[in-house]
Each structure stands twice: as C-alpha cells, then as structure tokens.
Amino acid sequence: MKDDKSKSELNYKDLTQSDKDLVAKLVRGGFSRREVLKLSMVTGVSLVAAEHLLFDGKAAIAATPKKGGSVRVAIDLHGPNDQTDPMQFTSGIDYARGRAVYSSLIQHANDLTPQPELAETFEPNSNATEWTFKLRKGVEWHDGSKFTADDVVYSMNRHLTEDSTSTIKSVMASVKEWKKLGSHEVKAVMHSPNADLPTLLGIFQNKIIKNGSKGDWIGTGPFTMESFEPGVKSVHKRNENYWREGAHLDACEITAITDPVARVNAVIAGDVDMIARVDPKAYRQVDSAEGVTLTSIPAASQLGICILKNTKPGENDDFVKGMQYIQDRERIVKRVLKGRGTVGNDTPISPAHGKDWCGELPQRPYDPDKAKFHFKKSGYSSAELHVAPVTSGIEDTCLLAQANCAKIGFDLQLKKVPNDGYWGAVWMKEPMNVVTWNMRPTANSQMAIQFGPGGNWNDTFWNNARMGELLSLSLAETDPAKRHKLYCEMQTLIHEGSGMVIPAFSNISDAIRDNVMGVPTVPLGSNGAAEWPEFIWLA
Amino acid sequence: MTEQVASKKEEEVLAELDSFAELPDAPPKRKFRLSWVGWLSVGIVVFWLLICVIGPTVAPFHEMDMEGDDSFLDAYSGEYGTFYLGTDYLGRDTYSRILFGARNTIGISLAATLLAYLMGITLGILAAVKGGWIDMGISRVNDAILALPTIMLGLIVIAALGSSIPILIGTAAVIYATSVFRIARALGQDIMVQDYVEAAATRGEGIWWIIRAEVLPNAAMPLATDFGLRLVFVVLFISSLSFLGLGVQPPASDWGSMVRENLQGLTYGSYAAIWPALAIASFTIAINLIVDDISAKSGGSLAKKMV
Amino acid sequence: MMTQMVFQRIGIGFATLMVVSIIVFLATSILPGDVAQIILGQSATPESLAALRTELGLDQPGYVRYFNWLGNMMTGDLGISKAGGATISSLIGGRLGNTMMMAGWVAVISIPISIALGLWAAMHPGTWLDRIVTFGTLSLISVPEFFIATVAVLILAVELHWLPSTAYMTGNETFVELMKALAMPLITLVIVVSAQMIRMTRAGILNVMSSPYIEMAILKGVPRGRIILRHAFFNAIGPIINVIALNLAYLVSGVVIVETIFAYPGLAKLMIDGVQTRDLPLVQACAMIFCATYVVLILIADVGSILSNPRLRNPK
C-alpha cells in the first residue's frame, strides 16, 4: 500500500470507524502536517496517501473562513413549547436559538475549558468562595442599548430565587448571590467553594438577558431574531454590531424535523445543511451518501438503566449485579451503536471526560454465568423494566438484555412507555427504568447530579455518605493527581454499590453537508453543543 | 388516519344507500358463491390464520433472538441457521418475526373488530329502538369521538393506560365502534319503520323479540360487508401507532412496527421493511377481495333494496 | 324543511362541540404528568414544579380551569399556550392556513381523478382495466401511509433529486416554488385519499347499476355509458359527496403522519404536540376546529345529497 497506486485505491469509505472519525475531525478542524503524519501512522498508509485521503472529496475546503451565505439547520424536536426564555430552555432547538441570539459569561472550548465570552476575566478568591467577573465593555444589545453589570446580576439571580422556575435552579444552587461591583464588574458569592463555577456558566440555560426582560429574543449574540414561529422555524440575520468579529454567515434558519428517517433524508437530499442526531439505523445510509459527513464525537451520553435501591428488586445487591453482568457491552457498541460509542463500566464517567475517567477500574465483562449466579442468589426470576426512547439506542440495548436474560432463564419484561410524561411519571418512580444524561462539563458535576446523597436527581436512590464527602473534597482539591485519586474512588463506589447499569455511551452523531465548515466539536450536545452559529462558514 | 375516514365513508355509503332503500317483506336468504379470486383470497386468509396458530412453532428462530452477525443481512445461511428473508436492523430473523407477528397483527385486529361490532351494534340498535334522550346522548358522544383524529385518541389512551395488548384491542374497538354504531343505528331506524316491524309491534311482540327476529337479520348483510374493511383499518391503526413509538410491547413483533423500524434499510437495499408490508397487504387485500366478491355475487342484496 | 334541517344540524353541532370539549378535557387530565412537568422535564424539582404550576395557573382545580377556558372561548379568546407562552391564535393562524391550503390542493387534484377513474371502472366492470384499478386501489389502501411517504421521498427526492424531501416554506416563494415545496406531501395524500374515493365511487355506482330500474333501462337498450352518466351517477351522488366530505375532514384533522414526515406545519401535528406537552388550551382549540369542520362538512354533504336527489328533496 506504500506506492502511488494506493492514492487512487484507498478511499475514505474503506477506513475503519475510528479512522473515519479521525479524518472527519481533521478535515473539519483544519489540519496541520503533524496531524497528517499521525493519520498516516494510524491508518498505516503512506504520507501521500494520507494527504490524498484528507483531500479526497474535500478539495473545496478553504483555509480561512468565507463570509456570506445562509444555512438551514434541522434539530430533532420542536413544538408549541419552543421557549424564548433561556431559563426554561429544554431542547436542542432552544439551545441553538439561544446560542445564536444570546451570549453567556463563559463559553466552552472543544476540550471543555472555559473561555471568556461576556466575562473578560474570571477569578476566584483564595478558597473559591467568591468569584469575580470583569465584564466586556462596549457590548450592545440588539436594540442598541448598552450591556452592563445590571443585566448580568438580573439574569444570574433569576436562577436563585425561592420561586424560580429555572430548569437549572439546583445546578446553580452553590451560588448564594450575584452582586454588582461596578458598571462592568460582578461577584458571585458562594454557599460552598466551587472551583468549577466558570464551566457551569457555559451551559445552555446560563444566557445573559436584558435587565427586566424574559429574554424576548433581544440578546448580545452573533445573530438577531428576524422571525420566530414556535414549532415551525426561526430566521436569524447576522448581528452587524457584534462585539467579536461576527458570524461568517449572513443568515441562518433553525427548524426541526421530528421524524428521524425524514431528517436524514432531508440532509442527504440537500434540503437542509446540517441535522442533529442521526439514528444509529441510518449511520450506513449517511456514510454511503455523497456530500454528507457523519460526525462522531465521543461523549458521555450514557445509555443508562436505573435500578432503584430503595425498593424491590433493586434493594437486593445480587439482582443489580445480575443486571450488570448480563449486559453484552461490546455487542451493544457494535450492534446497537454501530461502532460509534464507548463501552461503559457502570459509572457515568466515560473516556470523553479525559483525565477524570478512571481507567484503572477493571472493566465489568459480559458474563452470563455470573449473571445467572447472582439472579439465582437474589431469588428473583423475573423483573419489569420501563423503557422510553429517551436516547437513540436505549430501546435496542434493553432488547438485547432481554434476549440475553432469556438465554439464562431470567424473564426480563420490557414495558414500553411514551417519551412525553416519562420524566414525571416513570423515571425515579418505577423500580427499573431507563435514563440518559447529557454529558456535563466536569466529572464532578456529572457524578454529583446522579449520585449526590439526597440529591434531587439521585435516580437510583443510592445514598452513600462517603460519596458526598468525596464530591466536596474533589471540588476543593486543586492537585491533579490527588483529584484523580478522589475521582477514581468515587467511580469505584458507583461501580460497586449503586443501582446504575451503564453498558455504553453513545457518540454524538450529526450529519453535516460537506460545504459546511468549522462546526465546533464541544461534546456536550449535538452540533458542537449548539456552538455552531458564530463559527461555521460555507465553503 | 385514513382508516377513520374510510370507515366513515363506507358507513356513509351504506347508510345513504339504505336511507332510500325499501326492504322486501322478509329477510332475503341466499347462498354465497365465490369466484376463483374469492377462493384464492380465502386461501390466503386461511393460511395466515393457520400461521397465527402454528407460526411460533414453525419459526426457525424466536422473535427476540439476535443471532444475525449484523443488521440488515440479505438472505443467507450462517452458523446459527438460515435467514430466509434476511435479518432486520438488529440482526433478528425477518422470516421468524413475520411468523410470530401474525398472531399479534391478525389477532389484535380480529379481536378489536369483533369487539367494535359487539359494542357498535348493541349501542346502535339500542339507540334506534329506544330513541329519545338515549339516542341523543349516545349519538353526541359518538359524533364527538368520530370528529377527533383516531391517532390522537389512541395516543391519549395508550399514554394514560400503557400499551398492553388488551388496551390496544379496547382502544381500537372503541374508536371503530363509532362507525359501526352509525351504520347499525341507521339500519335499525330504517328497519324499525318497516311495515313488518310495525305489524310485529301491533301483534304485541316485545322489543327484544323484534330486535332478534326482525332487526338483526335484516341488518346482518350490510354489516357483514363492512366487517372486512373495518379489519383493515384496525391493522393500519395499530401500525400507525408504531409511528408514534407505541403499539405492541417488545420483543413481540407486529407487522406494522416491523415496517416502521426497518424503513431505513430500504436505502441500502434491504427488504426487511418490504416483507412485513407485503404480509399486511396480502392479508388485507385478501379480506377485501372476499368482501368484494360477496357483495358482487349477492349484489342484489343491497341494491335491490333501492327504488 | 331544508332550513329547519340545517338549523337542527347546527344545534346538534354545538352539542357535539360541547361533548368534544368535555372529552378532551377528561382525556388530557388522565394523562400522566402536566405541562409544568413536561416543560421542566428531567430537571424538575418539587420547588420549581410548584413555582411553575402557580405561574401557569395549574394550581387551580381542573373544573375551574375548564370553565375559565369555556368562558374565554365564548368571547372568542382562545387563550395562551401553557407550554410555550405564545397566544393560541398566533400558533393556529398560520397552520390553519397551511392545512386548508394542503386540503384544498389535494381535493382539487384528487376529486376529479377519483370520480373519473371510479366512473371508468364502473362502466367496464370485470375488465382488465377494472381489475387493475380495483387491485391498485386496494393495495394502496392496505399499506401504511408512512411507507408510501418514505418510499416516495427515497425515489423522488433522495435518488432522483426532482423534488425537495420536506415541505419547507419560506413564506415568500413564487407559485412554482410553492408547488414544488408542497409536491411530496401532495403526492402522498392524493394517493392515499384517491385510492379510497375511487373505490367508493365505483362501489356506489355498481350498487345502483344492479337495481331493477337500471336493469330495465339496460333491457330497453339504453347505452351503458349513458345510463351511468344520466341515471346511476345521479343516484350515487349522495354517497359520493359523503365520501368526499369525510375525506376533506380527514385532510384537516388526520394527516399527522404526513405532516411529520414532510415537516409540514399543519394543525394535526400541532394537536399531537399539544397532547404530548399536556397543553390543554391548545388541544382544545384544535379539537374545536376539527369538530366544527367535521360538522360543517357532513352538513354540506347532507344538503348536497338531498338537493341532488329528487326523492329525498320531496319525501313521501
């Protein structure tokens, strides 16, 4: 393969999945000589061939972003409940619109480090009980008025009031109060030290809105809202008065196509330029389509099965072990997620969390004999699992578990329930149910949300005092090695003791037309966690 | 959904035909004779009914087995056995799932249609015979259900009560009983004003005797012709629920969900969605052809009542 | 007589509307979860739920909310969407137009085709042409709608690139662009609706054809075509009008699958969205529109069949 002939023979389509992901990443992020070298080493082809590979079909990639043009982006869900108030954003389409129109104090980079946005600097005091933010000057709202500290204090304190209807009220609960220090300086006074506060400020609901408003689509973001029809579409024009360089596109339209088959067909037919969430069933279709690339960004979107520890059958540890050993994790990744995912180890932390992931923890294998042993010891011969399509692949994961259970004589009954009403009526109520969580920007917040003792969303009702201690200890710990040790102890606790079954994590898989460039890869959600509006351009 | 409309259509046609019908003095008795198309259709229906019973025993795999090495395999023989019709998106044997699914698809729709008939006819004839406020009350509720989209009604009931097979049957039965009710009521009202019924009433016969001896036999033929179509609409109703992610509980297979979940295979040449679609079509078309045949051969039954 | 019937029907129509509103109210209240829970979703906490319920007025008892809604409805105020905060009239306005436009175009295309094909098949019963029409329409009735729609998209949009795969409208397109955008859902709906109308037209006419007076006419040597056009069609027109009316009602309320697959912003999908977010005012408003459409169309059909039929016009 090391001769020139391989140039014409080796094509993108012949590569393995991980190599394809690498190429796609390189092509989208722009690539240096070093990365070409890396690709050639990984795929075992010559440098020339590697280079050819990268340029294969991508000749149009310009080194510098081009201005102009308009894109149409289709998310997966929308309806009359599309929100205007960032505080109540719940779905991908809200996040995308929010990113286009509003700004945050902090923005997530692709590797999840906090970057300055409306806050130019952010500094904690010595023990992280207070954070001071210097705000950007000269920023204007879309209606021409000036952005000041009053807007920030108003926007951020809305999450904290007693009767707040914010969807992230408990996420922000470590902040006691936001105070104005000057016209462009604010301070967050904490209840408890939190070294991760800046990262939290980058999440979707933490948008800065005008003092006294409810959002109302007046923001400081790269695009203005031209028209907004809930459940139909929104149309945006470039904000010519943006405080940064500004968006590359002249305009964009954000809509949704709820049917997964139709959504994929629309991007392949070229009717939309980018879609969120490709169903694993359609991976092959997108892969083989001309002019469309399937992104595959490793993330920590868990396919989770919650077994409640405070009731039958989950209070029995052997039952939980049985459910964990019956998961054919490799096969779930291969069969259900078609290779675009990571094997899970019954903890919510995935390799996508980087150094916070505990690789030392032995991987729990698929072991029908052990599962049989534990089920037998537990005394249960059947159980009921409530399944809703909360994330793609979860139903099929449960189907596979059901088939494997049947082989060892255990009757796992699946009860399929609709998605709407699921979070209120089934999740955290039925003894066994399914769950997914968007990846959180820090390992600490990822574990705190599900496993903090007595927390609102402790969805297996597993209350471990040591876990609570470790959560606060790790927040205050600044030494990376010690921190990793603490995180590893937490993951081991969850792996051994909780009622959580996490057989796999799915990658974020979106389809993007090849002329759309510069889509960020922030792993917190689809389309670079909706960070695309400011950064994409058309080749 | 289409089936709702069609059901209304059919019922309206029949009701309309009947509204200017003049019935003969006694219920017509006739023998049914089928054409070769009719017999072929009967054969297909009998075949599927047989599969309902023996399907799970003759299927090479269980409906939940994921033995195929990959999704959307073409028909082939592997180490686990032969996949006659290839595999579905999860590597399950399509052929076995069709054999298993027959029970659900045909069983549910037959049960629901029979139940719909029981309810519709009982209430319809009750409304026709009793009249007054009872008629008014039942008819308004009936109209209200008819005016609402079937899929929405199905969505609400199943979201509230869960989608077990009895609930699926009950939901479909209530929704389609509305159309049966209207036919039965219209027929009943027509028959009630006929001379022979009035004669029976003057003879001093009780209301139940009149229903049993006069109303039901006369209404039987038009209702029977409607039965086949109604069955088709229930099959389609169940499959449209699968579009919303409802329907029968996994791992049970029904043909409609099988079409839905394998649609994406079409783009890369998999027939996994085509086979169940053909199964639905063969069963429903056969039922319709039998219905056609019966109404054509006994063509007079309806039409002779006219003018 | 006729006026009396029309007024009576309108009265019954209002009664039906009331029953529908009660059914919708009862049905949505048995659904698990409420709108506050759906908005807050996975991230709900007891406190934020209570706060949002108060804000949306959900802390009042159900019957109070129902009568408030009813009172406002009487004054023409449809209320505000609980889920998103937009006014119901603004949510419905554009979509009602879209739904009516789609239903109108489908009707304009499919009614003449269906009547013509149905008549043609009825004129030549038992011929190959008749068999093709019968079998073809039967096949199309028997296949799920989403299958027809998806196959059409795969062929016409994804493979051939002739038509867009979704019915995406910008709001200021030319007539040709509009027709192109609507083409895919139009084709699907025309197929679905026509198949049934053709079948019913054919069946209606054949039924009349076997009646004694037609047989008499045939015996007297009146040409078959003339019998059908002059007598049979005339007598079958009542049922055919009814079929058309019910199809139009379906096109307004029942096309949720087509609207979903082609991302067409119409009323049927809006109502399903309303049910899924437990947005009672929105569901009620849609239900009222659907029920009114149904009542009006049936009324028109009845009036039409009476007018077209001398025997019904002058009852004995």
Q: Collect all residues of chain B within an 8 Å Cβ-Cβ radius of residue A414.
A: 249-251
Domains of chain A, earliest start first: 2-61 (no CATH), 65-102+221-295+509-539 (3.40.190.10), 106-208 (3.90.76.10), 300-507 (3.10.105.10)
pLDDT recorded at residue C189:
93
Walk along chain C (316 residues) and give the pLDDT tens digit of each residue.
678 878 888 888 888 888 888 988 888 888 888 888 888 877 788 888 888 888 888 888 888 888 888 888 888 788 888 777 788 888 888 889 999 999 999 999 999 999 999 888 888 877 888 888 888 888 888 888 889 998 898 899 888 889 988 888 777 788 888 888 899 999 999 998 898 888 888 877 877 776 677 777 777 777 777 777 777 777 777 778 877 888 888 898 888 889 988 989 999 989 988 888 888 888 888 988 998 898 888 888 888 877 776 655 554 4
Does C123 share its domain with C68?
no
Strands of A175-182's sheet, edge to edge? A119-124, A130-135, A185-190, A175-182
Cis peptide before A193 (omega within 30 of 0): no
Expressed as residue numbers, the domain containing C43 is 2-74
| pLDDT tens profile B211-226 | 777 777 766 766 766 7
Residue A85 CA to residue C84 CA, distance in Å, equals 9
Say which residues have a Cβ less than 8 Å from residue C37's Cβ, sequence separation at least 6: A421, A423, A424, C44, C49, C278
Q: According to DSSP H, which parts of A174-259 are helical?
A: 197-201
Best to test chain C binding among B20, B143, B307 (most C CBs inside 10 Å)? B143
Residue in B64, B162, B250 closest to A406 by CB: B64
- Angle (CA) A81 C189 B108, round 5°: 80
Higher pLDDT, B89 or A39: B89
Does C107 share its domain with C226?
yes
Residue A221 CA to residue C213 CA, distance in Å, equals 78
Q: What value does the mean pLDDT take over residues A123-151? A: 92
Q: Which among C76, C104, C71, C105 has a CA at the least distance from the CA of C88? A: C76
B156, B160, B163, B169 alpha-carbon torsion, rounded to 10°: -60
Domain presence at residue C82: no
Higher pLDDT, A505 or A45: A505
| pLDDT tens profile C170-191 | 777 888 888 888 999 999 999 9
Query: What tokens does A431 get?
Result: 């003894």
Contact A231 C40 (CB under 8 A): no
Q: What value does the mean pLDDT take over residues A31-43? A: 57
Query: What tokens does B230 get?
Result: 């109604």
pLDDT over 50 at A57, yes or no: no
Q: Which residues pair with A74 in a beta bridge?
A: A255, A275
Does C37 share its domain with C176?
no
Residue in B1, B160, B244 closest to C31 by CB: B160
pLDDT recorded at residue B5:
47
Beta carbons within 10 angstroms of residue A115's beta carbon: 11
Number of domains in chain C: 2
Does C209 share its domain with C298?
yes
Domain presence at residue C142: yes
Reported ipTM: the value is 0.84
pLDDT recorded at residue B240:
85
Residue spans of the domains in chain B: they are 34-304
The Cα of C115 is separated from the nearest Cα of chain B by a number of Å equal to 15
Q: What value does the mean pLDDT take over residues A382-394? A: 91
Query: What tokens does C189 get?
Result: 């709906």
- Region at C59 (left for phi over 0; alpha for psi -120 to 50; beta for the rest): alpha
Query: What tokens does A295 get?
Result: 């992104």
Residue A126 CA to residue A119 CA, distance in Å, equals 20
Q: By mean pLDDT, which of A175-179, A252-256, A454-458, C235-239 is the weakest?
A: C235-239
Does C190 share its domain with C51?
no
B56 CB near a chain A CB, below 8 Å?
no
3-state per-residue secondary structure call for A153-174:
HHHHHCCCCCCCCCCCCCCCCC
Contact C208, C308 (CB under 8 A): no
Do β-strands A70-75 and A274-275 pair in parallel, antiparallel, or remain unpaired?
parallel
Q: What value does the mean pLDDT take over residues B70-94? A: 76
Does C117 share its domain with C177?
yes
The Cα of C169 is separated from the nearest Cα of chain B by a number of Å equal to 24
Q: Residues 73 to 112 of C: which have CB under 8 A from any A CB?
A: 81, 83-86, 91, 94-95
Residue B166 CA to residue A197 CA, distance in Å, equals 52
- CATH architecture of the domain with residue range B34-304: Orthogonal Bundle (1.10)
Does C11 share its domain with C101?
no
pTM, two decimal places = 0.84
Residue C312 CA to residue C306 CA, distance in Å, equals 5
Query: What tokens does A447 get?
Result: 């574990």
Query: What tokens does C155 get?
Result: 């062929």
Domain presence at residue C307: yes
Domain presence at residue C206: yes
